[in-house]
Amino acid sequence: MKYFREKRRIAFAMISPSILVIVAINIFPILFAVYISLHLWSFGRGVPRFAGFLNYEELYYDGRFGDAVLTSAKFVFFAVLLEFVVGFALAFLFNVKVRGMATLRQIAVLPIMVMPIVAGLVWFYMFNENFGVINWLITLLGSEKVGFLTDLDVALFSIVLADAWQWTPFVMLVMFAALQSLPEYVYEAAKMDGLNAWQTFWRVTIPMLRPSIMIVILLRIVDSFKMIELVFMMTQGGPAGRTEVLPWYLYVTGFQALDLGFAAAMAVSMLILVTIFTQLFLSRVGIGNDNK
Amino acid sequence: MTSNSQVAAQFSLRAVLALGAACVVVGFSLFPLYIMITTALKSESDIFSWPPTWTFEPTLQAFKNAFLLFGGQNVLVFLFNSVLITAASTVLAVGLGSMAAYALARFPFRGSKHLAFFILSTRFAPPVAFIVPIYLMFRSVGLIDTHLALILFYTSMNLSFVIWVLRGFFADIPIELEEAALVDGYTRWQVFLRIALPLVRPGLAATAILSAVFAWNEFLLANIITQRDAATIPVYLSGFSASMGIAWGEYMAVGFFAVAPIMIFTLFLQRHLVRGLTFGAVR
Amino acid sequence: MPRIEFDNVSKRYAPSSAAVENLSLTIEDGSFLCVLGPSGCGKSSTLRMLAGLESITEGEIRVDGKRYNELKAQSRDFAMVFENYALYPHLDVYGNLAMPLAARKMPRQEIARRVEEIANTLQISDQLRKKPRQLSGGQRQRVGLGRAIIRDTRTFLMDEPLGHLEAYLRQQLRTEIRRLHEELGATTFYITHDQEEAAAISDRIAVMSEGRLQQTGDLLTLLDNPVNRFVAEFIGNLPISILPASIASNAASPELSVGDARIPFSERRASEIADSTRVAAGRLEAGVRPDAVTLHEESARHRLPLRVSVVEPVGDMAVIVADGPAGRLRAAVPSDSAPSPGNSVHAEFDASRILLFDGDGRNILRKT
Amino acid sequence: MHFENKQSWIKKAAAMAVAGAVSSIAVAPASAEGVLNGETIRILAIGDPVFQVMQRIHGDLEEMAGGTIELDVRGFDVLRQQVLLNAQNDVSNYDLISVDLPQFGEYKGFLVDLAGYVESSGMDWQDFHEAAWTGAYHDQMQLGIPIQPHPEIFAYRVDLFEEAGLEPPRTTEQVLAAAKALHGSKDGLSGICWNGARGTPLGQTITMVMGSHGLPVIAMDAIEGGFDLGNVRPENMHPQMESDTASEMAAYLMELMKFSPPGILNMAWDERVRVFAQGGCAMTYIWSGRSAIYELDEDAEARGKVSYLPHPAGPNGLNVSTLGGWFLSIPDNLPEDRRDLAWSVTEWLTSPEMMAEYTKHGNCVAPRHSVSVDEEVVARCPVIPFVDAMATNGEIAGWQRPPVPEIQQIFDILGAEFHEALAGAESPEDALKEAQRQLDRTMRRAGYY
């Protein structure tokens, strides 16, 4: 029994600093936000008045919140889909054993390190219809100028492309790392079993990469849901709200209009939404590092 | 497919095609950076000309404004703050995180799975949602405009990711290795420091890089919590956004300048980066 | 059943070092050949070239006369059992067994039936839902075997399949592999470094060393008529003793002198020396297996005087290690009559089983 | 000092201006031993041109002031958050903060009344443009000193207009007629540039254009020549988006869409001026100070070919440009002993000499009559005399963007809802009705009615 108690004491000693920091810096603000969300609290103006669930009711009836959730879902879906498909393919491309491929891979990872706010400005500049280089290329090829940031149907996909430019290399890197860790013998076994390239890909490679695939997809979903810099710089939620992702609407209410109660209610709802989604994703997909 | 020695030799065509495709990908990745640097070198009218000017007479005015003339503090103070805060928060996040990850992997107690998920869930909330609560919290303990405030915040934001990644790595280490060391008289701490940590070095490197990138680039909270003493590069950058638009040249110059340090930092750890990101792939 | 021919096959990983050097070997249709040799002798490279997992630097591999060098491994229709089992870690036993059949787009019920059948023959029916890492070594290798047998291929390649198993399991699986060979009559190319296993399981053995084929034949041939000193030393579980020797060519009756002993040489043995020129070279070596030596108290002209240094019990026998001016000799004697260390003994050889090697280690006796 | 009613101010100011103009202002550095004499002044500033100029000449400034100047520069949203958070500290972290004209409504609770300092220091407050000065005058208190207030006015290409024989556009009909004539008349030339981007940019456009059509967005008291922004009471907070004026405004904006450059739905602030500078549009709404973008850039196509007018008036509206821009104010949680220093620095930074100095480095704004008549200044920034004339004729006012705490929500709601109409996702009428409903809800939540 002594051994067990000693083991638990060590475990507690090792975990507690992290838990302390997380609770103090992450959890306290969340609880504080819940407290704020139960008030009518306009920053700097008058004393906050308790309002119970008024903010949440407002949220429920607020069409713009509903639209923002939908826009966020659409953005996350297309961004993660594009980043995963391209990133996954690139992982195989960079896995080809050729001289110089390693350096190319190291350069390709560069966009991850760029400050998102500056990346937003660069893409705004490139997509712009009056001095943007992309529109110039298009007109060169004979077609009309395209409203990348002003066309109702195209705007969101321009943001998706900008996000993919920065984060596809991350997916590529994770999948490339996973590919390196696959044992060689499995492929020899597959050859001897008579599997052709296509069968080997679907029946051996993909299933073995599944844990990494699920983790990188989850990470990208969680992170892309938080994206705000690109909308801040490129479209401010335009045209007609088509790119108003939830963090941006939250920024407008909590940070510009300074309607703290309403913004806090939105933040809390957002957190609940994401937690539920991730819990579903984790349980249905069943990953986590212990059942590898 | 992963080619074995027999196949790679014959397929030089495939190699050439692969290299070509890789170059296209790298080209796409680098083009925006090329735009960033050329905009920083262009004069105002060159930046906003139609059709875009490819050959232009470069001017260092934007760089001069951005780095020499600017403000009471010169840019070195901002750079120092950024490096100090990023380094400290990365070391803390990876240090504390690796301990917690080890404990979670090695001593699974009841609810350790829920604890792991709870830790991860702290990463879901977008910082923009909690700006004011965090400001009020730090102000109540008098930490406004101090390095410690940002260090603590970035550490806690990175902790969840670090713990989650390293937990997988520690779980991969065969138990026998550690039990042998225990039998030889190592204490639990020595086992952790001498045996476990060295084995997860790739994981440490990968999480260190990604934590550093987050801390280095965080824009919103840095602007609110700091004023002058602890202001980082992103705060310096926001000085170039006027109410009627952005000082484009200076913005791009600082943006380009901000990528360099983090890139250099990553080059050191790049070798480990690959092996460090093999979450849970089958060994 | 396919007939496999290696025609002057070489394999070089680097221009200087040859893993396999102009190997020519034929595996008859339906026969069970075992390649035996120490690690690094080129046996696995040979197998991998046959399997199509390694490219062939020179020479040609033909199966039923058809050139296989450029043929992809997938289309060679060989079944292979790997040394480290090479099971799919993400699939359960059922999945592993079913994979070769699924590759051939066999209907699902047909696959299920065959998997059941194979699982029963290999007694792993109750493991079907387990993942490889939940199985013991023996069970994993049974699955490896099952995966090879399940498809009606006519050629098996086995890369030291029993290398990592405990002794009793090796015995068990050895007999099973042999039984399956007889049942299916498939041509089998088996490699191992354990000669006992090789002898028990195969029809013919090919001994390799440093990339070169030394000799092929059944165990008895290899024991009695080794082509050179390497084969003599490598084959036989009791280590052979090698002593310097020479042949006195004076008229009366040919004698072999080994150290002080003079051993009469029968006419028949003399005729077996094919090439007298090599005899003239003078320096010869005699090879004697411990079971061809008897120990005596009294000295004699044709006996070699030695002193016992170690007594090693081997099963119900005892191996006596004795040293003398001529060198070290090992003799196998029944445990109860084993002399104790320090005693002097006189060793007598069974002349008919003495082997003679020339300066280059080549066996100069030609069995008729 | 007792302020009579508005009327007398204007007459007195005009008289003073004439007298002041006679002595040409030699741009001399401030008084000898410097206003700081060793002290440190902490200023929280916006990244706008005047403060960027201060940063560029920071070394000389500190020399002139004889002390250290700590200038923290932030973006618009961040600055406002910092000011509000700073107001809640018991001791202010800053001596001076920069305030945008519409923000006085929100900040007036924690700013120092500078009237006493103005009087005791003998500052010639009448040298300032009347609209600029009164922009900071709330609840009988002078809460800020103008440093970079400038109106959003209307710029047009004189050469293109003469070529097409068009009258200078003083009314919205003339604007539409000119835009129609010039749109596409040359390769890459659009009719008019304006703030069409979603959110604050379009929100501000709506408040200003509605002002030009004769009505503010909320029910402020009408006074002679405009509306009273000095004291806005709860009953003034009712939004007026369903008024006829609002419909006229909406119709005008929808018409403008036809003659706008590509990407108008995402065009805001300086971007419209840059397109105008490169000859991408014939007319543009413009914050007067931003004329520096082409006036100070030799190879800008529009350079030297631009003339200025106040906002074109709607059918029964009035030619009045909206004043905006930045003031220096002292937070009231600044300890008493620091206030004199803060005041003397304010007085110095807003002195005629310093204002002339700023124009040398690209800040074409001079809210003082005396500086507006300085030949050198006018040579550098042709727009300044136009603004000075408009100020004198009362064609500049600050009420279009009501200085109330909810101003940002007003911009956001108008800018988001009406963007649907501009993008064709909703009819203008529905957009106005929805905007009215949301503004109403916001005002009710804020407890006004």
CATH at residue C260: 2.40.50.140
Q: Which of A235, A237, A256 is closest, CB to CB, to D77?
A: A256
Query: Which pLDDT does position B185 carry in this prediction?
Result: 85
**What pLDDT digit, counting tens, does each position of D329-357 carry?**
999 999 999 999 999 999 999 999 999 99
> Chain D contact for A131, CB < 8 A?
yes
Q: Report the complex ipTM.
A: 0.82
Query: Which pLDDT does position A222 carry in this prediction?
Result: 87
Is C266 part of any domain?
A: yes
Q: Which of C74, C86, C91 is closest, CB to CB, to A185?
A: C86
Q: How many residues does chain C have?
A: 368
Split at pLDDT 50, 70, 90, the class of C267 is low
| Mutation site, C13, C55, C88, interface B, largest B CB count within 10 A | C55
Subunits that touch chain A (at least 3 Cβ pairs < 8 angstroms)? B, C, D
Return residue ranges of chain B for CATH 1.10.3720.10: 66-276
User: Positive or negative, the Cα torsion across C180, C182, C185, C191?
Assistant: positive
Is A221 part of any domain?
A: yes
**What pLDDT digit, counting tens, does each position of D136-185 carry?**
998 899 999 999 998 999 999 999 999 999 999 999 999 999 999 999 99
**D68/chain A closest Cα distance in angstroms:** 31
**What pLDDT digit, counting tens, does each position of A130-144 carry?**
889 999 999 999 888
Neighboring chain A residues of B219 at a CB cutoff of 8 Å: 115-117, 229
D151-320+399-445 carries CATH number 3.10.620.30: no
Is C362 part of any domain?
A: no
Whether A290 has a pLDDT exceeding 60, the answer reads: no
Query: Which pLDDT does position D28 carry in this prediction?
Result: 43
Architecture of domain D6-149+323-396: 3-Layer(aba) Sandwich (3.40)
Name the percent of chain D lying above pLDDT 70.
93
What is the residue type of C156? F
Segment A37-47 mean pLDDT: 78
D198:A45 CB<8 A: no
What is the rounded CA–CA span in Å between residue C118 and residue C141?
Answer: 13
Is A20 part of any domain?
A: no
For the domain that residue C206 is a member of, what is the CATH number?
3.40.50.300
> Chain D contact for A147, CB < 8 A?
yes
**What pLDDT digit, counting tens, does each position of A44-63 carry?**
666 788 888 989 998 888 88
Q: Which of C82, C104, C157 is closest, CB to CB, to A189?
A: C82
Whether D81 has a pLDDT exceeding 80, the answer reads: yes
Residues C101 and C71 in one domain: yes
Domain count, chain A: 1
Neighboring chain B residues of A270 at a CB cutoff of 8 Å: 125-126, 129
What is the residue type of C355? L
Q: Which of B4, B9, B282 is closest, CB to CB, to C90?
A: B282
Measure Cα distances from D410 to A62, A244, B79, D137 in Å.
Answer: 16, 18, 39, 22
B137:A90 CB<8 A: no
**Do the chains C and D touch each other, judged by at least 3 C-beta pairs below 8 angstroms?**
no
Split at pLDDT 50, 70, 90, the class of D13 is very low
Whether D1 has a pLDDT exceeding 60, the answer reads: no
Whether C135 has a pLDDT exceeding 80, the answer reads: yes
B129:A116 CB<8 A: no
A252:D445 CB<8 A: no
Q: Which of A188, A196, A207 is closest, CB to CB, to C53?
A: A188
Split at pLDDT 50, 70, 90, the class of C226 is confident
**B72/chain A closest Cα distance in angstroms:** 24
Residues C214 and C250 in one domain: no
Query: Which pLDDT does position A289 carry in this prediction?
Result: 39
Query: Which pLDDT does position A44 carry in this prediction?
Result: 64
Is D6-149+323-396's fold the same as D151-320+399-445's?
yes
User: What are the extents of the domains in chain D?
Assistant: 6-149+323-396, 151-320+399-445
| Mutation site, B5, B6, B10, B282, interface C, largest C CB count within 10 A | B6
**What pLDDT digit, counting tens, does each position of C6-44 carry?**
999 999 888 878 889 889 988 888 889 999 888 888 888
Segment C267-281 mean pLDDT: 60
Tell which wins on pLDDT, C252 or C302.
C302
Query: Which pLDDT does position D370 carry in this prediction?
Result: 92
**B51/chain C closest Cα distance in angstroms:** 55
Segment C136-159 mean pLDDT: 88
Split at pLDDT 50, 70, 90, the class of C277 is low
What is the rounded CA–CA span in Å between residue C73 and residue C292?
Answer: 47
Name the percent of chain A lying above pLDDT 70.
95
Is C26 part of any domain?
A: yes
Whether D22 has a pLDDT exceeding 70, the answer reads: no
Q: What is the mean pLDDT of chain A?
A: 88
D56:B135 CB<8 A: no
B251:A118 CB<8 A: yes
Residue A107: which domain range?
38-285
**What pLDDT digit, counting tens, does each position of C81-113 carry?**
998 888 998 899 999 999 999 988 889 999 999
CB D269 within 8 A of CB D201: yes
> Chain D contact for A117, CB < 8 A?
no
Tell which wins on pLDDT, A292 or A75.
A75
C53:B6 CB<8 A: yes
Segment C344-360 mean pLDDT: 83
B227:D72 CB<8 A: yes
Measure Cα distances from D436 to D237, D242, D410, D414, D418 in Å.
Answer: 12, 7, 10, 9, 11
B282:C55 CB<8 A: no
Split at pLDDT 50, 70, 90, the class of D27 is very low
Rounded to the nearest 5°, which phi and psi values hold at D360? Answer: -70, -25
Q: What is the mean pLDDT of chain D?
A: 87
Query: Which pLDDT does position C279 carry in this prediction?
Result: 59
**B278/chain C closest Cα distance in angstroms:** 16
Segment A13-26 mean pLDDT: 89
Query: Which pLDDT does position D206 carry in this prediction?
Result: 96
Neighboring chain A residues of B47 at a CB cutoff of 8 Å: 125, 131
B234:A115 CB<8 A: yes
Query: Which pLDDT does position B47 carry in this prediction?
Result: 86
What is the rounded CA–CA span in Å between residue D442 and residue D207?
Answer: 17
Whether D5 has a pLDDT exceeding 50, the answer reads: no
**Do the chains D and A touch each other, judged by at least 3 C-beta pairs below 8 angstroms?**
yes
Residues C34 and C164 in one domain: yes
B5:C54 CB<8 A: yes
Q: What is the mean pLDDT of chain C?
A: 85
A194:C151 CB<8 A: yes
D263:A149 CB<8 A: yes
Neighboring chain B residues of A121 at a CB cutoff of 8 Å: 246, 248, 251-252, 255
Nearest CA in chain A to B93: A18
Q: Which of D81, D269, D297 is closest, CB to CB, to B45?
A: D297
**What pLDDT digit, counting tens, does each position of D253-272 carry?**
999 999 999 899 999 999 99
Numbered residues of chain B with Cβ closer than 8 Å to any chain C Cβ: 4-6, 9, 282
Q: Which of B152, B262, B273 is closest, CB to CB, to A25?
A: B152
> Helix axis angle, C137-149 relative to C108-121, nearest 10°?
130
Give the A window 138-167 contacts with B, CB below 8 Å.
165
Q: Enumerate long-range contacts of C9-16, CB under 8 Å, 24 or more apart.
A: C9/C46, C9/C49, C9/C56, C9/C58, C9/C59, C9/C60, C9/C61, C10/C56, C10/C57, C10/C58, C10/C59, C11/C42, C11/C45, C11/C46, C11/C49, C11/C54, C11/C56, C11/C57, C11/C211, C12/C57
Query: Which pLDDT does position D23 carry in this prediction?
Result: 41
> Chain B contact for C268, CB < 8 A?
no
- DSSP 8-state class, residue B194: I
**What pLDDT digit, counting tens, does each position of D302-320 carry?**
998 999 999 999 988 888 8
A115:B219 CB<8 A: yes
Segment D204-220 mean pLDDT: 93
Task: Centre a 10 Å sphere on the Cβ of residue D127 and count the other Cβ atoms it contains.
Answer: 21
Intervals of chain B under pLDDT 50: 1-6, 72, 282-283
Domain count, chain C: 2
CB D83 within 8 A of CB D97: yes
**What pLDDT digit, counting tens, does each position of C326-341 carry?**
888 888 888 888 888 8
Half-sphere exposure for C154 (CA within 13 Å, toward CB)? 11
What is the residue type of C84? N
Rounded to the nearest 5°, which phi and psi values hold at D66? Answer: 65, 50
> Chain B contact for C90, CB < 8 A?
yes
Residues C318 and C275 in one domain: yes
Residue C58: which domain range?
4-233
> Chain A contact for B99, CB < 8 A?
yes
| Mutation site, A41, A96, A99, interface B, largest B CB count within 10 A | A96
Q: Which of A26, A136, A200 is closest, CB to CB, to B156?
A: A26
Whether C48 has a pLDDT exceeding 50, the answer reads: yes
Fold classification of B66-276 is MetI-like fold (1.10.3720)
User: Positive or negative, the Cα torsion across A83, A88, A92, A98?
Assistant: positive
Query: Which pLDDT does position D25 carry in this prediction?
Result: 43
Q: Which of A27-31, B118-122, C188-192, D82-86 has the lowest mean pLDDT?
A: B118-122
Query: Which pLDDT does position B3 carry in this prediction?
Result: 40
3-state secondary structure of A109: coil
Whether A31 has a pLDDT exceeding 80, the answer reads: yes
> Chain A contact for C174, CB < 8 A?
no
Whether D436 has a pLDDT exceeding 90, the answer reads: yes
What is the rounded CA–CA span in Å between residue D241 and residue D36?
Answer: 49
Query: Which pLDDT does position D277 carry in this prediction?
Result: 93
Q: Give the number of beta-carbon pairs within 8 Å between B and D.
A: 96
Whether D2 has a pLDDT exceeding 80, the answer reads: no
Nearest CA in chain D to A240: D420
**A225/chain D closest Cα distance in angstroms:** 21
**What pLDDT digit, counting tens, does each position of D97-139 carry?**
999 999 998 898 899 999 999 999 989 999 999 889 998 998 8
Residues C170 and C300 in one domain: no
Half-sphere exposure for A176 (CA within 13 Å, toward CB)? 28
Task: Centre a 10 Å sphere on the Cβ of residue C304 and count the other Cβ atoms it contains.
Answer: 25
| Mutation site, A188, A192, A205, interface C, largest C CB count within 10 A | A192
**A111/chain B closest Cα distance in angstroms:** 6
Name the percent of chain A lying above pLDDT 90.
42
> Chain A contact for C98, CB < 8 A?
no
Query: Which pLDDT does position C305 carry in this prediction?
Result: 87
Query: Which pLDDT does position D15 carry in this prediction?
Result: 47
What is the rounded CA–CA span in Å between residue B47 and residue A206?
Answer: 46
Instruction: Read off the tokens for C217.
Output: 């034949």
